[in-house]
Chains A and B, each alone.
Chain A
Amino acid sequence: MSGLLNIIVVGLLLGGIYGLISMGLNLIFGVIRIVNFAHGELVMLGMYGAYMCYFLLGMDPYASLVIVVPAMFVFGVLIQRFVLQPLQGEPMMQIFATFGLLLIFQNAVLAITRGVGYTAPSALSSIVVDVGGIKISLVRLIALVAVSAAALFLSWFVKNTMLGKAVRAVTQDRRAARLMGIHVEWAFMLTFGAGAALAGLAGTLIAPIYTMSPQIGGNFILAAFAVVVLGGLGSVWGAYIGGFLIGVTEAVAGYYLDPSLKTAIWFAIFIGMLIVRPSGLFGVVGAEEIGLREQD
C-alpha cells in the first residue's frame, strides 16, 4: 500500500514539473494560436541561464530566478516581435519558424557548451522532507508549489485585471478586440513574453534536478503536448491538472509495466483524448474551434 502511495507521490511531483512546462506552452497556444515547438528549448535556455548565474556569479538557482525569469520575458517579447509578428496571417509559417528556433537554440547551445553536461547545484538539493513516512525531495516540492502559485496567479490575472481580460478578448475575437482599442500585436508580445518567462521559471526550478544537455527540451515538450491536449487547449487549470494526471500515469505505468513505455503512454492519452473530447478535460467546449475561424 505504501508502495503505491509512494509511486503516486513521485507521479505528482513529476506532474508539477510537467504542469509548469505546459503552462507557458498552453498560454501561447491559447492566445496567439501558435504551437510553439521551441518551448522545450526555452525551458532548456532557462536551465542554462541558471547555470550561467551559478558559474559567473556564484548564485544559487533559486536566487537566479530574479535574473532568468525577467530575461526570458524580454527574450520572448523579442521573438514575438521580430520572428513571429512578421509572419502574422501565415500560421503555418509561424509554426515552421518556431521549429527553426528549436534547431537554432539546440545547436547554438551545443556549439557553446561542446556537449558537456552541466548541473546547477543548489544548497537545497540534498534536503529531503519526510511527510508521514514518505520521503520527498525539497527541490521537487518547490516545483510543485511554484506550479500551483503560477496557476493561481494566471487565473486571477485573466479574470480580474483589465489587461488579463483584454488578453482573453484577443483570444476570442481579434478584430472585435481591435475595435475596443486593444493593441493586438502588443497583447501577443506580452503573452509570448509571459510564456517564455514561465519556461524560464520551469527551467530554473528543474536546473538542480536534471543534468543539462542541449536536447533536454525534447524530453519535456512531448509530455507537455500530451498535458495540454488532456487538460484543454488554452486552459490554465487544464495544464495544471493535466500535468498531474500525466505525471501519475507515467509513474504508475513505469512501475507496473515498463518505464520505457512512457512516451507511448503519453501519446495514447494524446490521441485518445483528441478522439473522445477534443476540448480536453477543462477546455470550454467549442472554444478550440475559435482558432479555426477567420481571425484578423
Chain B
Amino acid sequence: MSAALRIENLYAGYGQAGVLEGVSISVEPGEIVSVVGANGAGKTTLLNTIAGINRPSSGRIVFDGVDIGHLRAHQLPARGLALVPEGGRLFPFMTVQENLEMGGFSRRGSPEFRTALHDVTTLFPILRERREQYAGHLSGGERQMCAIARAVMSDPKLIMLDEPSVGLSPKMVGEVFLLVERLARTRGLTVVLVEQNVQEALAVSDRAYVIDHGRIVREGASADLASDAAIQAAYMGL
C-alpha cells in the first residue's frame, strides 16, 4: 500500500534561516494525522512547503506517487491537494457562495462543479443560510467552516488544516473537529492537521507527529501520545 503523502528529509526556510531541518512523515490514505508542537516549531512552514507556497531547499515531497516538490501552489488543487490556511483566509469582499466557487476554480466548467456546490452546502447547512453574505461578515466559527468547505470544493484527496481551532470558542472547536472527522470518515478524505491545541488534535487523529525546532521528535498512535506523561507535561499543561 503506497502512502498518500510521504515527506522525506525535508529542509526549508526563509533566506538563510532554516525552519525545517530534515522532516520525514508519512500519511496513509484515509488517515487523520496531526502534527503538533509549540509556536514556531515549524508546523505552518511544513504545510506551506507541501502546498507549494514555500520552496523546499532539499528533500522530497511525494503526493499520490508523484514528487510535487518543484510544483507551485496554483498547480496543486487540480492534483487533489488542498490547504486550509490559518485563519481561513477567505476573500472578505466576496460572498460565501463566491468563496465556495473559487474553491472549485481548478475544475470550473466541469459537470461536477455545480453538484459540488450543492453537496458542500448540504454538508455545511449554515453556509447555505449565509450564501449571499460577504465572507468578511461571518463569525469566527462560520469563517472556519466556510474555509474548510471552500477547500472541499476542489474535491481533494488530501486536505491540510493549519490551526483550525485558533480564535474559536471551545464549543466551536469541538464542532469543527467533529466535522473534520466526519469528512475524513464519510468521504475517505486524508487529513493532515496542524495544531497547537494538542489535546483536541490527539483526540481526533489516528496518528500524530510531535515537531520541535524543525525536527520530528516523537511519533505514534494519537491515543498513546495522549497518555504519555512527557507529552502531557510539555504540551497539554497537565
Spell out A's residues near B (CB within 8 Å).
162, 165-166, 168-169, 172-173, 175-184, 284, 287, 296
User: A175 contacts B85, CB within 8 Å?
Assistant: yes
Interchain nearest-CB distance for A188 vs B (Å): 13
Contacts of B123 in A (CB 8 A): none
Q: Can you name the residue of chain A whose Cβ is closest to the Cβ of B106?
A: A181
Looking at the assembled complex, report how far the CB atom of B144 sits from the nearest CB atom of chain A, in whole angstroms.
Answer: 14
B89 at interface, CB cutoff 8 A? yes
Interface pair B154/A176, CB less than 8 Å apart: no
Contact: B101 with A162, CB < 8 Å?
yes
Contact B82 A179 (CB under 8 A): yes
Residue contact A182 to B94, C-beta cutoff 8 Å: no
Q: Does A180 contact B89, Cβ atoms closer than 8 Å?
A: no
Q: How far is the CA of A139 from the CA of B113 in the complex (A)?
A: 45
Interface of A is mostly: helix
Chain A residues positioned under 8 Å from B75 (CB to CB)? 181
Find out whether the CB atom of B89 lies under 8 angstroms from the CB atom of A181: no
Structural contact, A173 and B91, CB atoms closer than 8 A:
yes
| Pair B105/A182 contact, Cβ less than 8 Å | yes
CB neighbours of B105 from chain A (8 A): 162, 166, 180-182
Render B98-112 as a binary contact track against A, CB cut-off 8 A, 1 for contact. Answer: 100111011011000
Chain B contacts of A181 at CB under 8 A?
74-78, 105-106, 154
Given A175-B53, A175-B73, A180-B154: 11 more A-B contacts, CB < 8 Å: A162-B105, A162-B108, A165-B94, A166-B102, A168-B93, A172-B94, A173-B91, A176-B85, A176-B90, A178-B72, A181-B76
B103 with A180: CB separation less than 8 A: yes
- Whether B201 is near chain A, meaning CB under 8 Å from some CB there, is no
Residues from chain B with Cβ under 8 Å of A177 in the complex: 91, 102
Query: Could you tell me if B91 and A175 are in contact, using CB atoms closer than 8 angstroms?
Result: no
